[in-house]
Amino acid sequence: MERRQRRRRLRVDLGARARARARAACCLLVIAASSGCDEAALAPRDAAPEAADAAAAELAAPPPGDGVVSRIATRAEVPLSPTWAGAREGDWMLRGGGVVAVVSTGKGRLVDFAFEGGDDGIYYVDAAAYDAFDRMHVEVARIEPVGEPARQLHVVLRVLDKPLDLHAW
């Protein structure tokens, strides 16, 4: 008798979990369907490279701030506490308003962020793309400073699982 009641409880719990997952997936689907994008962004990379290049050229950079972008030649250039800072030679440093950020050249992720002279409080932050609940693999396509003088950093990540590019400023 007791065994039968356990099975019923288990069935009810599994049913509630499945309904919750279905609701979450439905919400994500509605959000994805309602977000707008143009046809050039959906063009396959191999079929029409000029359409993808035109779409990338039309991307408007956000308004420039008061910061400055520079390449790190030595670790001593980064005005952060050396205890946890993950900056390396060749990475990009953004400084402005008393704040320092370092973007990794290898993975295109934010590896340091703190006030000048302060301790870095993050491990890393990176842009990601998901297909349902699975994270898709990305690689760095290019990282380049934007503007004259360089006040912004444009990071382009190529999604390997789908014909998509992620643009981060």
Q: For 40-74, what is each residue's pLDDT tens digit?
A: 544 555 555 555 555 555 666 667 677 889 999 98
Q: Is residue 26 part of a domain?
A: no
The answer to whether 156 and 59 are in contact (CB under 8 A) is: no
In the block, tokens 């609940």 appear at 133
Q: Is residue 104 part of a domain?
A: yes
Q: pTM for the full model?
A: 0.62
pLDDT confidence bin for 7, thresholds 50/70/90: low
Q: Is residue 14 part of a domain?
A: no
Per-residue confidence (pLDDT) for residue 90, from 0 to 100: 92
Percent of the chain with pLDDT over 70: 60
Give the integer Cα–Cα distance in Å for 100 and 108.
Answer: 16
Residue from 97, 62, 99, 67 nearest 80 by CA: 99
Given a cut of 60, whether residue 169 has pLDDT beyond it is: yes
Pairing mode of beta strands 68-71, 92-96? antiparallel
19 found inside a domain: no
Range(s) of the domain holding residue 129: 37-169
Please give the residue that has the higher pLDDT: either 94 or 1.
94
Q: Is residue 62 part of a domain?
A: yes
4 found inside a domain: no
Q: Residue 93 above 60 pLDDT?
A: yes
Start-to-end CA distance of the chain, whole Å, equals: 62
Tell me whether residue 74 is in a domain. yes
**Would you say residue 20 lies in a domain?**
no
Tally the domains of the chain.
1
Model pLDDT, residue 34? 41
